C-alpha cells in the first residue's frame, strides 16, 4: 500500500497529478515565449509634433546619417512666416543620446526667397550637409505660393551651447514658372558619384507635365539643366516621385498619370550621347493591375524594381509590385500584394530582402499601418507590423527607414499627443 505521500490518481492510465504539473510547466513556458515575443517587438513614439516651432504634419520619411541621427521635414509649422499664409515648415533632427532621443529644429522656413513647404525626404550629402527641396516659396515666379527651391543646410561652424542651434540655409536653385521652366519639386534630390544632384518637378517643362532636372556644382555655384520634359502622353505625366540611380548612372522613377492608359508608369532615363533618353518601362493598366504609382521605386542587387500604387488592386487601395528585367530587354510585372490603403511613398529593402512600407489608411483601426513583405518558397507574404490607432500616430504618408540593425523608423502625418503627427521607432 502506498503512503499518503506516494498516493497518485490514475484514470485511463494517466497520472493526473503528473499531467497537472506538466501543464503548469507548459503554461509557464508559453507565457515566457509570449513575453519574449512582446519584448522583441516594440513601438515607440520618439516625438509628437505640437504644431509650433517643431513643425506639424510630417509628410515624408526620415534620413539617417553615419552617426545614427535622424533627419526629417515638416511642411507646416515653424516660425509661421507671413508669406506662407500661416506656416512655412521646418527641417528637424533627432539625436540619439544614451537611451533617449533629443529633438532639435534645424531650420524654420520663412516663406520668402528661402522657400516653404518642405514635403520631401532630405539627403545627407558627401560633405555631411543636408540637402532637400521646398515645394513652394523661393520667389522668382508669379505664383503667390512660389515655385520651390533646392537648398543646403550647413551646421554652425563652432559648437553651439544653446537648446536651439539653427543651421545656415543656402538656396542652390530657385525654380521659375516660365513656359519652359520647371517648378514645384514635390520630392527630394539624389547624388551621383560625381556630386551632381537629380530631382523631379511636377509642373512645367515644354510639355507642362513636369521635368527631371540636374544640378551640377561649378565654381562655387550650381548649374541647372533640364534632362527630360514630360509630354503627358505615353512617356508619363506628373512625376511625383523620388529618383534612384544605379551603378551605371541610369535614373529610375514613376509618374502618377500618363503612360499608355493614363494610369501612370515606371520610367528610366539613360545617358544617350550628350543627352538623355527616356524609356517607359511599364504602364499601369488600372483596375486590378494598379493605378498611379506615386512613391518611386527601389532597386535590389539583382536589378529588380519594387514599388507601390495609391489605387487599384483587388481591394481598390493599391498594390505592391515588382518589375524584373528579362533577357530580351523587357520587364515582367508582378503584383506582390494587394492593400486596402494607398501606398504613397517608396518601399524599403532590408538586408534580408524583405520589403517595408506604409499605407495611408487600413490596418486594425483604419488609421494606416506599417507592413512587411517577405519572400519564401516562391510566395510573397504580407504582414501587418503595426496598426496606427491615432494616439500613436495616424495616416502615414512617408516611407520606412530600415537601419543596419533592422530597426524601423518613420513618421505619421497626423495623430500623436497633439494630433499633428509623430516620429516613430520600431523593433519588429
Counting every residue written for the chain, the total comes to 428
* Residue extents of the structural domains in the chain: 58-157+164-229
The confidence score (pLDDT) of residue 83 equals 65
Mind giving me the DSSP string for 360-393?
Answer: SS-STTSS-EEEEEEEETTEEEEEEEEE--BTTB
C-alpha cell at position 220: 562655387
Residue 41: the pLDDT is 75
Is 0.75 surpassed by the pTM of this model?
yes
Q: Which three cell numbers stand for residue 421?
A: 503627427
Residue 234 has a pLDDT of 97
Beta 408-412 vs 42-48: how paired, if at all?
Answer: unpaired
How do residues 201-260 score in pLDDT, each as one tens digit? Answer: 999 999 999 999 999 999 989 999 999 999 999 999 999 999 999 999 999 999 999 999
The three cell numbers locating residue 281:
518601362
Query: 168-196, pLDDT tens digit by residue?
Result: 999 999 998 766 678 899 999 999 999 99
What average pLDDT does the segment 98-112 reach? 91
The answer to whether 307 touches 293, Cβ cutoff 8 Å, is yes
**DSSP annotation of 69:** -
Q: What pLDDT is recorded for position 140?
A: 73
- First-to-last C-alpha distance (Å) of the chain: 58
Instruction: Count Cβ neighbours within 10 Å for each residue of 251-273 and write b for 16 or more, e otherwise.
Output: bbbbbbbbbeebbbbbbbbeeee
> What is the percentage of the chain residues whose pLDDT exceeds 70?
87
Indicate the CATH number for domain 58-157+164-229: 2.120.10.30
Q: Are 75 and 109 in contact (CB under 8 A)?
A: no
Is the pLDDT at 9 greater than 80, yes or no? no
Segment 48-53 shows an average pLDDT of 94
pLDDT of residue 157: 81
| pLDDT tops 50 at residue 287 | yes
pLDDT score at 4: 39
Of the listed ranges 16-25, 144-153, 414-423, the least confidently predicted one is 16-25
Residue 19 phi, psi dihedral angles, 5° rounding: -65, -40
Beta 182-183 vs 130-134: how paired, if at all? unpaired
Residue 236 C-alpha from the chain's centroid: 22
d(CA 340, CA 361): 7
Which residues, other chains included, contact 82 with Cβ-Cβ below 8 Å and sequence gap of 6+?
111
Tell me which of 9-18, 155-164, 191-200 is least confident. Answer: 9-18
Q: How many helices (H) and strands (E) does the chain have?
A: 1, 32
CA distance 58 to 186: 13
Lowest-confidence segment of 43-52, 97-106, 176-185 by average pLDDT: 176-185
pLDDT mean across residues, the chain: 89
What integer is the mean pLDDT of 50-55?
93
Mean pLDDT of 52-73: 96
Q: How many CB atoms are located within 10 Å of the residue 120 CB?
A: 25
Amino acid at each position: 500500500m502506498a503512503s499518503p505521500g506516494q498516493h497518485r490518481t490514475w484514470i485511463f492510465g494517466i497520472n493526473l497529478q503528473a499531467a497537472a504539473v506538466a501543464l503548469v510547466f507548459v503554461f509557464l513556458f508559453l507565457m515566457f515565449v509570449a513575453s519574449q515575443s512582446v519584448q522583441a517587438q516594440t513601438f515607440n513614439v520618439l516625438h509628437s509634433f505640437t504644431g509650433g516651432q517643431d513643425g506639424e504634419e510630417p509628410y515624408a520619411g526620415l534620413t539617417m546619417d553615419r552617426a545614427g541621427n535622424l533627419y526629417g521635414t515638416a511642411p507646416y509649422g515653424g516660425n509661421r512666416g507671413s508669406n506662407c499664409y500661416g506656416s512655412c515648415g521646418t527641417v528637424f533632427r533627432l539625436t540619439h543620446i544614451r537611451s533617449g532621443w533629443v529633438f532639435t529644429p534645424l531650420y524654420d522656413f520663412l516663406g520668402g526667397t528661402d522657400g516653404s513647404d518642405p514635403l520631401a525626404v532630405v539627403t545627407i550629402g558627401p560633405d555631411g550637409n543636408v540637402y532637400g527641396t521646398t515645394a513652394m516659396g523661393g520667389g522668382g515666379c508669379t505664383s503667390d505660393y512660389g515655385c520651390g527651391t533646392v537648398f543646403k543646410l550647413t551646421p554652425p561652424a563652432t559648437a553651439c551651447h544653446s537648446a536651439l542651434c539653427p543651421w545656415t540655409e543656402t538656396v542652390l536653385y530657385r525654380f521659375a514658372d516660365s513656359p519652359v521652366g520647371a517648378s514645384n519639386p514635390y520630392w527630394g534630390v539624389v547624388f551621383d558619384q560625381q556630386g551632381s544632384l537629380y530631382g523631379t518637378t511636377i509642373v512645367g517643362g515644354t510639355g507642362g507635365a513636369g521635368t527631371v532636372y540636374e544640378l551640377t556644382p561649378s565654381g562655387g555655384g550650381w548649374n541647372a539643366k533640364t534632362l527630360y520634359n514630360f509630354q503627358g502622353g505615353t512617356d508619363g505625366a506628373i512625376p511625383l516621385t523620388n529618383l534612384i540611380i544605379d551603378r551605371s548612372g541610369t535614373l529610375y522613377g514613376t509618374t502618377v498619370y500618363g503612360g499608355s492608359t493614363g494610369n501612370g508608369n515606371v520610367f528610366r532615363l539613360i545617358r544617350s550621347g550628350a543627352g538623355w533618353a527616356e524609356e517607359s518601362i511599364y504602364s499601369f493598366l488600372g483596375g486590378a493591375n494598379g493605378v498611379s504609382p506615386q512613391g518611386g521605386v527601389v532597386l535590389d542587387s539583382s536589378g529588380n524594381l519594387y514599388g507601390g500604387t495609391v489605387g487599384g488592386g483587388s481591394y481598390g487601395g493599391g498594390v505592391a509590385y515588382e518589375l524584373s528585367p528579362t533577357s530580351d530587354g523587357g520587364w515582367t510585372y508582378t503584383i506582390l500584394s494587394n492593400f486596402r490603403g494607398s501606398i504613397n511613398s517608396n518601399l524599403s529593402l532590408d538586408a534580408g530582402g524583405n520589403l517595408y512600407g506604409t499605407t495611408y489608411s487600413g490596418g486594425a483601426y483604419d488609421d494606416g499601418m506599417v507592413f512587411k513583405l517577405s519572400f519564401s518558397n516562391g510566395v510573397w507574404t504580407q504582414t501587418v507590423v503595426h496598426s496606427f490607432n491615432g494616439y500613436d500616430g495616424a495616416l502615414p504618408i512617408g516611407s520606412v527607414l530600415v537601419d543596419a540593425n533592422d530597426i524601423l523608423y518613420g513618421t505619421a502625418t497626423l495623430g500623436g499627443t497633439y494630433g499633428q503627427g509623430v516620429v516613430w521607432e520600431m523593433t519588429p
